[in-house]
Amino acid sequence: MNAPRIVSADGSCRYLLWAPNVDGSRPWSDTAAGRERLDHCRRAIELGRAEGLLVYGEEAAGHLPEHKAHTVLGADAETVLLFEVEQRGDQYFAVWGRTPATAA
Using 50, 70 and 90 to split pLDDT, how confident is the model at 104? very low
Q: What total of structural domains would you count in the chain? A: 1
Q: Work out the percent of the chain whose per-residue pLDDT is above 90.
A: 44
pLDDT mean over 16-30: 92
* pTM recorded for the entire structure: 0.78
66: in domain? no
Using 50, 70 and 90 to split pLDDT, how confident is the model at 76? confident
User: By 3-state DSSP, what share of the chain in percent is helix, strand and coil, each rounded to 5?
Assistant: 20, 45, 35
Measured CA distances, 60 to 24, 54, 63, 72, 85 (Å): 18, 18, 6, 10, 25
76: in domain? no
Q: What is the mean pLDDT of the chain?
A: 82
Q: So what's the pLDDT on residue 95?
A: 93
Query: Domain of 34?
Result: 3-53+82-96
90: in domain? yes
